[in-house]
């Protein structure tokens, strides 16, 4: 097979599975090492640079990094990356004097943002630091978007939102709160050089089944209800509550209901437990609060009496899979089940809604009513209008919104400077040896065998008594250190120089994971099968180097490498070296460049 | 030398052998030898050979003398019995242990200093007595622990790291073993893992005195231009006479070679050593031919490796002495100390 081109930043980036999986490409192992070193403020700033909202994301992120974490392929559970991020936020102290300030001399360009959610905040931060005048329009009274309105306070305290939203707004960004944009045409007529649409997916899907209208008083749309709870408009719910839907909103609804007087709260889901959209940990949190999750039940009717809801009628279904593995839910034929209740929360999905965008202003929509947006630049068919977050491609999550914000900011910056937004600036990449001495590395290369540590929770009676009491207490210092030590430092790369190798096999013998093989070359598929340990994970690359004296090749399966550096310690000639790979995605010029980790 | 212990985590697909152990279960403490030492490769080959033969580690006794080589038993088979003896005296201790308990598998590990200098007499007698053992000489042709003097196996004309040229004639331990009557004589190279593992497996199954003279480059003091025991030199001058495949009777023969190119040696305990000949006219069972062959290769400056000689009907010391089948530690006191009457009877028989 072809020799690996390690000069291509993508190669080593892929080895850092967590960073590669993160939409914002946060350098995860970098900040985890800083946490282990007790440098919480530095760890926070690494995060702030790439994901803008570390304290918020450290509590609410969907964590695409964790299923990708190499640790999960080596033992049972990945590193608790998300909760370590929170540790950085919790213990950082006062970092205000370390945050960058917007340039005094602005560049004269003005950008409008619609919605003050995570996508707009991320884009506005980058552009404000780049010298742009940023104006955010927000329909609600305060900035934060769904982070503030939909995520319950027992998962995310208000103080955290205020602090992190504040850091951004303090960069000289104008917030026009309580201002709903009703016409994009009107906004285009105002003197803005570009407009960023980050309005989210604000409409909760309804359930049009019999009884909906009659029992309307006790049937609530999940995200609207959460928002009313968040703003204190709703403080009570009935004793018996049925939550319809299996996503994270449903989990937030049921747990909120438990705190507002719901004693018998049930979640009822069409699909099976495993296929539910909610994150596994959110399902566990709901179960822990005595909320049963009932699966394979499809609501067919809201029952009511004298204009008052009495319950929901469900049809029982079973999953059946066709030849293509497509799932179909088929009725089992059992009699429908009636679940009596006082209130229903409908959390069966969210939709985009753009009634305020005129269809004749040069912004094209597809058949599903979604704007046509370039996935690379986030530019719409109207060159001055950019999209991001849920508004761009439908409901995703906060970290995707942040990533969109960064990318859109780069596009807007290029557009405003008359450059082609499709030409993307290259990431900043550093690769530097970590060797300090014969057996000394500037990272802690001992591999911890500890299992994942659980985050301590507030006692249940106490947690259920107050909707504003945060359930997760976060790791303390000791737990944070122990959990941080589980990180395998996948960003410290094994770098091989064939011309130095004497083929003594020392690295092969010491490697605890049998990653390294010296063998005759061959096509990749065939070579993968005859390595010291067959490389069966096609998603993980084989690092191949040729140019050895015997004519063989060095093939390293990246899949389960512990990055323990023993290959480099045992190498008599320095043919193996451990080099830290630090990739930071390009942001708007001058945008907190000084913050990138040293 | 590494300060970190090797992490306990292992490959999720790590295979197990017939007795349910993984290769990692055959490892020992982490090596404290210089990084890149050939001896570590030999340790790894021993680990693999024992794993592949599914030998229970606690039924193996590893014995050694003094030197870099003799430190290595710490680095493999952590669950085996070990004895680190006096310099050059490993063969005597091994002989004694073997006489006391013939049920264990004996693995003697020594180096060129330990076996060819201070322990040459011990080396000779253990082999000529036919002690059932595997005797591995980790031969680097240099005194590494004392920083690079020539050893008794250094070739005449080879250069030390400091530039001195060796004037003394070398001892060829494989040649000597042939003279002395060892029933399994092989030479290998620590840098040829496949060959070494198969030779070790064959030697472990050989019911007699088996010796492997294994060239093992010293990266610190004998891996330079002018050395005849460096990685580069051995790789360029290695002339393998055969490739060996050990058949324990369980697994079917996997590869078909052209007729006439393979030879099977059935040992008297039933194990079959199947050899793929690389030198077509080489007769594995002809001791004098082997001696001549070694000499001719040496004249050419080549290093003959592979299984050089095997005696199919080999017998061991216990057979020669007609000793009891039962190990001494399994005999009761009455059998071990038969008393004054028994002694009197023996004395009477000698009058």
B3 lies in a domain? Answer: no
Residue B223: its chain A contacts at CB < 8 A? 502
The average confidence (pLDDT) of chain A is: 95
Is A124 in contact with A53 (CB distance < 8 Å)?
no
The average confidence (pLDDT) of chain B is: 91
The model's confidence at residue B239, banded by pLDDT at 50, 70 and 90, is confident
Q: What percent of chain A has a predicted confidence (pLDDT) above 90? A: 94
Is A317 in contact with A298 (CB distance < 8 Å)?
yes
Nearest chain B residue to A532 by CA distance is: B14
B17 lies in a domain? Answer: no
In terms of residue numbers, what domain contains B147?
23-321
* A177-206 pLDDT per residue, tens: 999 999 999 999 999 999 999 999 989 999
- Rounded CA separation A160/A89 (Å): 9
CB contact under 8 A, A569 and B12: no
- Rounded CA separation A373/A393 (Å): 8
- Chain-centroid distance of CA A584 in Å reads 17
Nearest chain A residue to B10 by CA distance is: A513
* B222-233 pLDDT per residue, tens: 999 999 999 999
B78 lies in a domain? Answer: yes
The burial class, CB within 10 Å (0-12 / 13-18 / 19+), for B54 is: middle
Residue B11 at interface with chain A, using a CB cutoff of 8 Å:
yes
- Rounded CA separation B150/B117 (Å): 11
CATH fold of the domain at A204-351 = FAD/NAD(P)-binding domain (3.50.50)
Residue A366 belongs to what H/E stretch? Answer: none
Q: Which among A80, A88, A55, A262 is positioned nearest to A157, based on CA atoms?
A: A55
Q: What percent of chain A has a predicted confidence (pLDDT) above 70? A: 98
Retrieve residue A236's tokens.
Answer: 């009570």
Please list the alpha-helical segments (H only) found in chain B.
38-52, 68-71, 90-100, 112-116, 120-129, 173-180, 193-205, 231-237, 287-299, 317-321, 333-336, 340-350
What number of other Cβ atoms are within 10 A of residue A208's Cβ?
A: 7
Q: Which of residues 176-195 of A touch B (CB under 8 A)?
A: none
CB contact under 8 A, A509 and B36: no
Residue B189: its chain A contacts at CB < 8 A? none
Residue A439 at interface with chain B, using a CB cutoff of 8 Å:
yes
pLDDT of residue A471: 96
CB contact under 8 A, A506 and B36: yes
Q: Is residue B245 over pLDDT 90?
A: no
Q: Is residue A516 over pLDDT 60?
A: yes
Q: Which among B188, B113, B187, B172 is positioned nearest to B144, based on CA atoms?
A: B113
B297 lies in a domain? Answer: yes
Residue A504 at interface with chain B, using a CB cutoff of 8 Å:
yes
Domains A110-202+352-416 and A204-351 share a fold: yes
* A10-49 pLDDT per residue, tens: 999 999 999 999 999 999 999 999 999 999 999 999 999 9
CB contact under 8 A, A566 and B6: yes
Is A156 in contact with A335 (CB distance < 8 Å)?
no
* B153-193 pLDDT per residue, tens: 999 999 999 999 999 999 999 999 999 999 999 999 999 99
Residue B193: its chain A contacts at CB < 8 A? 505
Residue B193 at interface with chain A, using a CB cutoff of 8 Å:
yes
Nearest chain A residue to B223 by CA distance is: A502
Nearest to B41 among A439, A504, A514 (CB): A504
- Rounded CA separation B150/B142 (Å): 5
Nearest to A504 among B4, B6, B191 (CB): B191
* A72-103 pLDDT per residue, tens: 999 999 999 999 999 999 999 999 999 999 99
CA distances (Å), origin A526, targets A519, A523, A530: 12, 5, 7
Q: Is residue B259 over pLDDT 60?
A: no
To the nearest whole angstrom, how far is the Cα of B40 from the nearest Cα of chain A?
A: 7
Residue A535 at interface with chain B, using a CB cutoff of 8 Å:
no
Residue A548 at interface with chain B, using a CB cutoff of 8 Å:
no
Residue B12: its chain A contacts at CB < 8 A? 73-74, 560
The separation between the first and the last C-alpha atoms of chain A, rounded to the nearest angstrom, is: 36
Averaged pLDDT, A134-154: 95
Per the model's pLDDT, the better-predicted residue between B247 and B281 turns out to be B281
Domain spans of chain A?
110-202+352-416, 204-351
Nearest to B193 among A445, A505, A572 (CB): A505
Q: Is residue B210 over pLDDT 60?
A: yes
What number of other Cβ atoms are within 10 A of residue A443's Cβ?
A: 19
Nearest to B9 among A75, A510, A572 (CB): A75
- Rounded CA separation A237/A218 (Å): 9
- Poorest-pLDDT segment among A303-312, A584-593, B135-144: A584-593
Q: Which among B7, B28, B3 is positioned nearest to A448, based on CA atoms?
A: B7
- Rounded CA separation A569/B1 (Å): 8
The CATH number of residue B114's host domain is 3.40.50.970
- Rounded CA separation B199/B210 (Å): 10
Among all chains, which residue has been given the structure tokens 């050059």? B88
Longest Cα pair distance anywhere in chain A, in angstroms?
89
Strands ordered across the beta sheet of A428-433: A428-433, A576-584, A492-496
Interface test with A, best of B35, B37, B225, B232 (most A CBs within 10 A): B35
Residue B14 at interface with chain A, using a CB cutoff of 8 Å:
yes
- For chain B, how many structural domains are there in total? 1
Residue A187 belongs to what H/E stretch? Answer: helix A184-189
Q: Is residue A351 over pLDDT 70?
A: yes
By DSSP bridging, strand A327-331 and strand A203-204 are unpaired
Does the interface predicted TM-score (ipTM) exceed 0.95?
no
CATH fold of the domain at A110-202+352-416 = FAD/NAD(P)-binding domain (3.50.50)
CB contact under 8 A, A562 and B6: no
The burial class, CB within 10 Å (0-12 / 13-18 / 19+), for B53 is: middle
B332 lies in a domain? Answer: no
Rounded to the nearest 10°, the torsion over CA A207, A211, A212, A217 is -140
Q: Which among B83, B57, B310 is positioned nearest to B208, based on CA atoms?
A: B310
Nearest to B35 among A446, A447, A570 (CB): A570
CB contact under 8 A, A570 and B36: yes
Among all chains, which residue has been given the structure tokens 């995060």? A47
Residue B2 at interface with chain A, using a CB cutoff of 8 Å:
yes
Nearest to B11 among A503, A510, A513 (CB): A513
pLDDT of residue B10: 93
* A477-489 pLDDT per residue, tens: 999 999 999 999 9
The model's confidence at residue A327, banded by pLDDT at 50, 70 and 90, is confident
Q: Is residue A595 over pLDDT 60?
A: no
Retrieve residue A227's tokens.
Answer: 């928002």
Is A177 in contact with A140 (CB distance < 8 Å)?
yes
Is A129 in contact with A52 (CB distance < 8 Å)?
no
Q: Is residue A285 over pLDDT 90?
A: yes
Q: Is residue A317 over pLDDT 50?
A: yes
CB contact under 8 A, B36 and A502: yes
- Rounded CA separation A347/A222 (Å): 5
- Rounded CA separation B12/B9 (Å): 9
Retrieve residue B166's tokens.
Answer: 């060796």
Nearest chain A residue to B235 by CA distance is: A550
pLDDT of residue B265: 77
- Rounded CA separation A69/A26 (Å): 13
Residue A510 at interface with chain B, using a CB cutoff of 8 Å:
yes
Q: Is residue B261 over pLDDT 70?
A: no
B299 lies in a domain? Answer: yes
The model's confidence at residue A596, banded by pLDDT at 50, 70 and 90, is very low
């Amino acid at each position: 097979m072809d020799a690996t081109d390690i000069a291509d930043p993508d190669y080593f980036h892929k080895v850092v599975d967590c960073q590669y999986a993160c939409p914002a490409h946060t350098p995860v192992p970098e900040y985890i090492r800083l946490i282990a070193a007790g440098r919480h403020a530095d760890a926070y700033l690494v995060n702030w640079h790439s994901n803008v909202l570390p304290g918020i994301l450290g509590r609410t992120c969907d964590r695409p990094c964790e299923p990708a974490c190499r640790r999960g392929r080596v033992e049972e559970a990945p590193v608790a990356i998300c909760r370590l991020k929170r540790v950085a936020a919790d213990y950082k102290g006062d970092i205000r004097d370390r945050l960058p300030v917007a340039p005094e001399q602005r560049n004269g360009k003005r950008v409008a943002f619609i919605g003050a959610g995570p996508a707009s905040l991320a884009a506005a931060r980058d552009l404000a630091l780049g010298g742009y005048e940023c104006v955010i329009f927000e329909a609600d009274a305060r900035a934060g978007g769904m982070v503030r309105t939909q995520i319950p306070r027992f998962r995310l305290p208000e103080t955290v939102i205020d602090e992190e939203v504040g850091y951004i707004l303090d960069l000289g960004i104008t917030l026009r709160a309580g201002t709903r944009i009703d016409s994009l045409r009107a906004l285009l007529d105002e003197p803005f050089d570009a407009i960023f649409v980050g309005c989210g997916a604000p409409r909760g899907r309804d359930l049009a089944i019999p009884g909906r209208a009659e029992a309307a008083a006790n049937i609530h749309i999940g995200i609207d209800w959460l928002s009313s709870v968040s703003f204190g408009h709703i403080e009570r719910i009935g004793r018996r509550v049925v939550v319809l839907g299996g996503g994270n909103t449903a989990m937030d609804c049921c747990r909120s209901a438990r705190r507002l007087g719901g004693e018998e709260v049930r979640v009822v889901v069409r699909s099976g437990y495993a296929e539910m959209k909610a994150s596994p940990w959110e399902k566990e949190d709901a179960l822990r609060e005595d909320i049963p999750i009932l699966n394979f039940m499809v609501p067919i009717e809201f029952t009511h009496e004298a204009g008052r809801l009495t319950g929901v009628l469900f049809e029982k279904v079973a999953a059946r899979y066709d030849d293509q593995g497509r799932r179909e839910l088929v009725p089992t034929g059992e009699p429908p089940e009636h679940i009596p209740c006082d209130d229903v929360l409908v959390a069966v999905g969210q939709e985009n809604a753009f009634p305020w965008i005129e269809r004749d202003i040069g912004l094209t929509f597809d058949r599903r009513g979604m704007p046509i947006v370039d996935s690379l630049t986030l530019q719409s068919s109207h060159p001055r209008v950019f999209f991001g977050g849920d508004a761009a491609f439908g409901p995703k999550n906060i970290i995707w919104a942040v990533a969109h914000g960064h990318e859109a900011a780069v596009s807007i910056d290029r557009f405003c400077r008359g450059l082609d937004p499709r030409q993307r600036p290259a990431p900043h990449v550093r690769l530097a040896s970590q060797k300090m001495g014969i057996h000394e590395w500037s990272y802690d290369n001992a591999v911890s065998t500890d299992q994942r540590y659980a985050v301590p929770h507030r006692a249940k009676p106490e947690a259920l008594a107050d909707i504003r009491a945060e359930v997760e207490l976060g790791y303390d210092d000791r737990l944070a250190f122990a959990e941080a030590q589980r990180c395998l430092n996948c960003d410290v790369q094994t770098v091989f120089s064939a011309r130095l190798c004497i083929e003594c096999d020392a690295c092969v013998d010491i490697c605890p994971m049998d990653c390294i093989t010296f063998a005759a070359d061959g096509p990749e598929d065939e070579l993968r099968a005859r390595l010291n340990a067959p490389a069966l994970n096609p998603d993980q690359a084989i690092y191949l180097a040729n140019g050895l004296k015997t004519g063989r090749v060095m093939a390293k399966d990246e899949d389960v490498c512990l990055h323990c550096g023993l290959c480099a310690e045992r190498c008599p000639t320095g043919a193996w070296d451990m080099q830290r790979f630090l990739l930071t995605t390009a942001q708007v010029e001058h945008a907190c460049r000084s913050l990138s980790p040293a | 030398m590494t300060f970190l212990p090797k992490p306990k985590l292992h490959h999720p697909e790590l295979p197990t052998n017939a007795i349910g152990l993984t290769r990692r279960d055959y490892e020992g403490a982490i090596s404290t030898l210089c990084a890149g030492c050939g001896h570590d490769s030999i340790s790894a080959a021993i680990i693999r050979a024992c794993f592949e033969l599914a030998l229970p580690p606690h039924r193996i006794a590893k014995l050694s003398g003094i030197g870099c080589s003799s430190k290595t038993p710490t680095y493999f088979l952590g669950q085996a019995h070990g004895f680190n003896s006096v310099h050059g005296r490993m063969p005597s201790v091994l002989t004694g242990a073997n006489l006391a308990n013939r049920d264990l598998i004996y693995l003697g590990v020594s180096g060129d200093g330990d076996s060819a200098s201070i322990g040459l007499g011990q080396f000779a007698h253990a082999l000529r007595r036919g002690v059932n053992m595997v005797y591995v000489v980790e031969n680097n042709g240099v005194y590494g622990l004392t920083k690079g003097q020539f050893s008794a196996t250094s070739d005449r004309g080879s250069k030390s790291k400091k530039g001195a040229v060796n004037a003394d004639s070398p001892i060829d331990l494989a040649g000597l073993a042939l003279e002395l009557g060892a029933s399994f004589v092989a030479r290998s190279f620590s840098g040829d893992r496949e060959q070494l593992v198969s030779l070790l497996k064959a030697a472990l199954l050989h019911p007699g005195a088996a010796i492997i003279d294994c060239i093992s480059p010293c990266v610190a003091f004998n891996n330079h231009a002018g050395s005849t025991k460096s990685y580069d030199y051995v790789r360029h001058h290695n002339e393998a006479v055969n490739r060996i495949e050990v058949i324990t009777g369980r697994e079917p023969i996997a590869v078909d070679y052209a007729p006439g190119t393979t030879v099977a040696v059935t040992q008297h305990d039933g194990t079959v050593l199947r050899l793929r000949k690389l030198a077509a006219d080489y007769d594995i069972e002809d001791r004098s031919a082997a001696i001549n062959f070694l000499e001719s290769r040496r004249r050419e400056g080549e290093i003959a490796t592979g299984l050089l000689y095997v005696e199919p009907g080999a017998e061991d010391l216990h057979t020669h002495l007609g000793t009891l089948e039962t190990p001494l530690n399994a005999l009761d006191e009455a059998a071990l100390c038969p008393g004054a009457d028994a002694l009197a009877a023996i004395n009477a028989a000698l009058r």
